[in-house]
Amino acid sequence: MARGKQIYEGKAKILYEGPEPGTLIQHFKDDATAFNNQKHAVLEGKGVLNNRISEFIMSGLERVGIPTHFIRRINMREQLIRHVEIIPLEVVVRNVAAGSLAKRLGLNEGDALPRSVVEFYYKDDKLGDPMVSEDHITAFNWGSAQEIDDMMAYALRVNDYLSGLFAGAGIRLIDFKLEFGRQYEGDLVRLILADEISPDSCRLWDADTGDSMDKDRFRKDMGGVVEGYREVARRLGILRNENERGDAKGPVLVSSNDENKA
């Protein structure tokens, strides 16, 4: 597939011009960063897993009527997406106290919240992505009141979908981060889900043991980061276990579509 020039490089992904107007190619790198870039590592295989996990989740969300930027996966590390104007906000949904919320409010990690909570953070690395209120968002014109309503409604629907999906895989969804973008279609503007949904952007705990299966393994130097991501993919049915066929190499990615041709 024709890949145009690079238009953006972030911490874990690169965006290239896509083959048609209004499309981009999203490339998943193996790089991992945390604490506002102070910690960096290359985790072999992470990009491949995140590409597959994000494809699986975004496709599932489309099927239940939540619009996303995902069009189709192209190969092991790349997917074709719709070009959107990214809203400069991180939308975090929390079900259980963890991370910065537990610290800020003095809550015990692992305690269920009275109800799911949605928070907004302004995307700015120099400022360390500060938490902002809905009033900040409209005052500084990062988004309209209607867009805030839409983002909150979509975020809670995504939470319901993901909570069920992961519960069925023996995984507790603690919290996660979403990003949204504006898609322009003539005079119309449509809000759609963008970026990725993967263990890089979710807290996922094993339902039985409470073990982290997400980027906290990297943040906290716990080791086994890629193994945790691979186990998430395996439980979601994205990986098949080669051992079951008498091959001792362990789980491998299920090949499908045209990834071998790319």
Nearer to ligand UDP by C-beta: 12 or 192? 12
Determine the Cα–Cα distance for residues 173 and 180; give it in Å rounded to an integer. Answer: 20
Query: Contacting ligand UDP (CB under 6 A), which of 78, 129, 147, 196?
Result: 129
Query: Contacting ligand UDP (CB under 6 A), which of 78, 147, 175, 196?
Result: 175
Query: Contacting ligand UDP (CB under 6 A), which of 23, 100, 163, 183?
Result: 100
- The answer to whether residue 137 forms part of the interface with ligand UDP (CB under 6 A) is no
Angle made by CA atoms 157, 163, 169, in degrees to the nearest 5:
145
Query: Contacting ligand UDP (CB under 6 A), which of 58, 101, 193, 238?
Result: 101
Strands 85-86 and 188-194: unpaired
Token code pair at residue 49: 């897993």
| Least CB distance to ligand UDP at residue 90 (A) | 6
SS3 205: strand
Determine the Cα–Cα distance for residues 228 and 214; give it in Å rounded to an integer. Answer: 6
Strands 188-194 and 171-185: antiparallel
Sequence-distant (≥ 6) Cβ neighbours of residue 47 within 8 angstroms? 12, 27, 28, 29, 30, 77
CB 204 within 8 A of CB 198: no
Query: Contacting ligand UDP (CB under 6 A), which of 154, 166, 176, 229?
Result: 176
- The answer to whether residue 177 forms part of the interface with ligand UDP (CB under 6 A) is yes
- Interface stretch with ligand UDP, choices 175-183, 184-192, 232-240, 250-258 (CB under 6 A): 175-183
| Least CB distance to ligand UDP at residue 99 (A) | 2
Give φ, ψ of 247 to 5 degrees.
Answer: -105, 125
Per-residue DSSP letter, 126: G
Q: How many CB atoms lie within 10 A of CB 117?
A: 14
- Interface stretch with ligand UDP, choices 15-23, 93-101, 138-146, 164-172 (CB under 6 A): 93-101
DSSP per residue, 140-182: TTSS-HHHHHHHHHHHHHHHHHHHHHHHTTTEEEEEEEEEEEE
Residue position matching structure tokens 């491949």: 48
| Least CB distance to ligand UDP at residue 139 (A) | 22
What does the per-residue mask of binding to ligand UDP show for 222-251, with x meaning CB under 6 A?
------------------------------
CB 70 within 8 A of CB 103: no
- Interface stretch with ligand UDP, choices 17-25, 51-59, 98-106, 222-230 (CB under 6 A): 98-106
| Least CB distance to ligand UDP at residue 143 (A) | 18
Measured from each CB, the residue nearest to ligand UDP is 99
Query: Which residues 191-210 are close enough to bind ligand UDP by CB under 6 A?
Result: 201-203
| Least CB distance to ligand UDP at residue 129 (A) | 5
User: Which residues of the shown chain bind ligand UDP in the complex (CB under 6 A)?
Assistant: 90, 92, 98-101, 129, 175-177, 201-203, 215
